[in-house]
Homo-oligomer: A and B are copies of this chain.
Amino acid sequence: MTVTADLAISLDGYVAGPNVSLDNPGGDGAEPLFEWIHGLASWRERQGLAGGAENRDSELMREWFDATGAVVMGRTMYETGADFWGEDPPFRAPVFVLTHRPHPVLVKQGGTTFTFVTDGVHDALDRARAAAGDRNVDIAGGASTVRQYLGAGLIDELHLHVVPALLGGGLRLFDGPAAAGPRALEPLSVIHTPLATHLKYRFPK
């Protein structure tokens, strides 16, 4: 079982634009981070939409969907995404939401459940591991949630989709110490397309 963090990131290191809020979850000018995803057949399938491009990027996203048995996310990501995801969210797997406010489990269509975890990052990960079976747990975001897991040394693989754009500001994935001191990573693969450079790294045990 592998714990992944899989994010789209600009070449200058931002995972959202400036002025992120509940009404503006991607932040200003963040279209380059996300618009390439919306045309992919595999992404559209999960939204219940037909069509889209069957390219290498779409395959990679399908691989991620297929490999992921459970998801952990922060409360802000949940709150900003919930309306968009609607009654048939794209995860089709158990999702564990880090929060301070207890909330009953939400059961959606297609296999997605939202379980609200108030006992912290370790507990959320333990529950996600138990739910994932032999598939991966993905720490989906936002940036501060991924940073907490990175800082605690709980991420096995970092998958970054580097989009060819400079945002010039916003929310950084890497902001302050990501882990204790400098840390070497093992490069696993790189796949380069006109849309993004897809990098996979493993943290040595």
Contact = CB atoms under 8 A, between A and B. Distances in A.
Contacts of A179: 166, 168
A37 interface: no
A26 B29 CA distance: 33
A81 B168 CA distance: 29
Contact of A187 (B12, B187, B197): B197
Nearest to A202: B164
A201 interface: yes
A205 interface: no
A185 B165 contact: yes
A97 to B, nearest CB: 26
Interface residues of A, number: 39
A164 B160 CA distance: 12
Contacts of A189: 192
Given A13-B172, A166-B183, A168-B182, 12 more contacts: A12-B173, A13-B174, A32-B182, A32-B184, A164-B186, A165-B183, A165-B185, A168-B177, A168-B180, A169-B176, A169-B177, A189-B192
23 contacts: A11-B158, A11-B160, A11-B174, A13-B13, A17-B182, A29-B181, A32-B184, A162-B199, A164-B186, A166-B174, A166-B182, A166-B185, A168-B174, A168-B176, A168-B177, A168-B178, A168-B180, A168-B183, A187-B192, A187-B194, A190-B192, A190-B197, A197-B197
